[in-house]
Amino acid sequence: MENFLHNPSIMAVPGKKHHVSDFDCKYTAHLTNKKETVEQLKENVDALIDEQGRLYADNRYAVLLVFQAMDAAGKDGTIKHVMSGLNPQGTQVYSFKTPTDIELEHEYLWRTNRFLPQRGNFGIFNRSYYEEVLIVKVHPEYLLRQLLPNVKKVEDAGKEFWTRRYRQINDMERHLTENGTIVLKFFLNVSKDEQKKRFLKRIEDDSRNWKFSPADVKERQYWDQYMEAYSDLITNTSTETAPWYVIPADNKWFMRYAVSNVIINKLRELDLQYPHLPEVEKNRLEEAKKMLMNE
C-alpha cells in the first residue's frame, strides 16, 4: 500500500507557504480504477478495526481526527465510510455548529477541548476549533459575540489577532501530541465547480433535499475569501507535530481511500502492541484453565 503520510501532493509541508490552489482537487495519485480503490478502502477499514483494538489495549495514545471542508465536500460521507467498522465504545464523533450562548461565555477552545478523546480512543471532529480562523475570519463580525477584551469593533481584529490565534492553536496541538494525542487534520479540498454540481443534485433529488440549505449558496458567494482563509490556516498551522493533509475531494472514492491511508499508516508508525503478561500472570492463567477444564 502506498504511504500518503509524506506525499507532498497531499501533505502540506510544514514551514512552507501554501495556497489551496497549489493542490489539485482531482488528484488520484497512481490510482485510476475506482472499483479497485473501493476494494482497497474496504481492506483499510478492516485494518483500522484491528488497529483500534491495539490502540485500546496499548492505552498510551489517543487519536484526534479533524475534518474541515467547504459545504458538500463530503465530510459526513468520509467519516461514515472510513470509520464505519470501528467499535462505537471507543469512538466519539462531534459535529460543531454555531456556538451556543454558554460556549460563547468561555474562551474559544473550550467548546472543542472538552470533547478531546481519552487514551485508547478515537475522537472525530466534524468541523472544529479551526472554524475560529475560518468562518470567523471571513465574517469577523462574529467576533463581537465573543466579548473579547481587545475586540470592540471588527477593525480591532487585524493581522496580529489572527497570528496570535494560529499560535494558540499550534501551542494546543503541540501540548496534545507531546502528551500522547495524535492529531490528524484533513481539509477535504473540493473545487468550486464540483460543489455546484453537488448542490444541484441535492436540489433536484427529493431524497437529498434535506441536505441542502439556501444558506449554503449564500456562503458560496464568499468562496475566494474562504480559499484565502484556508490558505493562511494551512500555511500557519501545518506543523511537524500536526501537519495538514489537503485531500482531493472531487473524486469521493479517492478522497475516502486517501484519508484511510493516512490514518492506517500513522497508526502503524506508532507500533501499537497488545500488553505482554509477565510470567507470573501467565502461570495464573494456566491454573485458571486447569480449574475450568476439571469442572
pLDDT at 84 over 90: no
Mode of pairing for the β-strands spanning 122-126 and 244-248: unpaired
Q: Which of 159-173, 196-210, 231-245 has the lowest mean pLDDT?
A: 196-210
pLDDT at 277 over 80: no
In this predicted structure, what is the pLDDT of residue 94?
96
CATH number at residue 249: 3.40.50.300
- Give 37's pLDDT tier (boundaries 50, 70, 90): very high
In this predicted structure, what is the pLDDT of residue 215?
85
Does the residue 169 lie in any domain? yes
In this predicted structure, what is the pLDDT of residue 185?
98
Q: What is the mean pLDDT of the chain?
A: 95
Residue range 42-51: average pLDDT?
A: 95
Does the residue 223 lie in any domain? yes
pLDDT at 111 over 80: yes
> Looking at the 3D structure of the chain, how many domains does it have?
1
Q: How confident is the model over 14-24, as pLDDT tens digits?
A: 999 999 999 99
Does the residue 157 lie in any domain? yes
pLDDT at 207 over 90: no
Q: How confident is the model over 71-80, as pLDDT tens digits?
A: 999 999 999 9
Cα–Cα nearest to 138, from 237, 70, 190 = 70
Q: Determine the structural domain holding residue 260 and report its residue range.
A: 20-293
Does the residue 163 lie in any domain? yes
- Give 2's pLDDT tier (boundaries 50, 70, 90): confident
3-state secondary structure 71-100: CCCCHHHHHHHHCCCCCHHHEEEEECCCCC
In this predicted structure, what is the pLDDT of residue 239?
98
Does the residue 7 lie in any domain? no
**Cα torsion for 141, 142, 147, 148, to the nearest 10°?**
-80
Cα–Cα nearest to 44, from 274, 268, 275 = 268
High-pLDDT (> 90) share of the chain, %: 87
Q: What is the pTM of this model?
A: 0.94
- Give 206's pLDDT tier (boundaries 50, 70, 90): confident
Residue range 53-76: average pLDDT?
A: 97
In this predicted structure, what is the pLDDT of residue 267?
97
Does the residue 42 lie in any domain? yes
pLDDT at 275 over 90: no
Which DSSP category does 32 fall into? -
Which DSSP category does 11 fall into? B
Q: How confident is the model over 227-252, as pLDDT tens digits?
A: 999 999 999 999 999 999 999 999 99
Cα–Cα nearest to 85, from 139, 34, 48 = 48
Which neighbouring-strand residues pair with 68? 187
In this predicted structure, what is the pLDDT of residue 209?
83
How far lies 260's CA from each of 23, 174, 184, in Å? 19, 23, 11
In this predicted structure, what is the pLDDT of residue 126?
97
How far lies 125's CA from each of 19, 75, 137, in Å? 23, 10, 20
In this predicted structure, what is the pLDDT of residue 32?
92
Q: Give me the helices (H) in the chain, please.
A: 34-58, 75-82, 101-104, 110-113, 135-138, 159-178, 192-204, 214-220, 223-237, 252-269, 279-293
Does the residue 2 lie in any domain? no
Element (H, E) at 246: strand 244-248
Residue range 169-173: average pLDDT?
A: 98
Does the residue 108 lie in any domain? yes
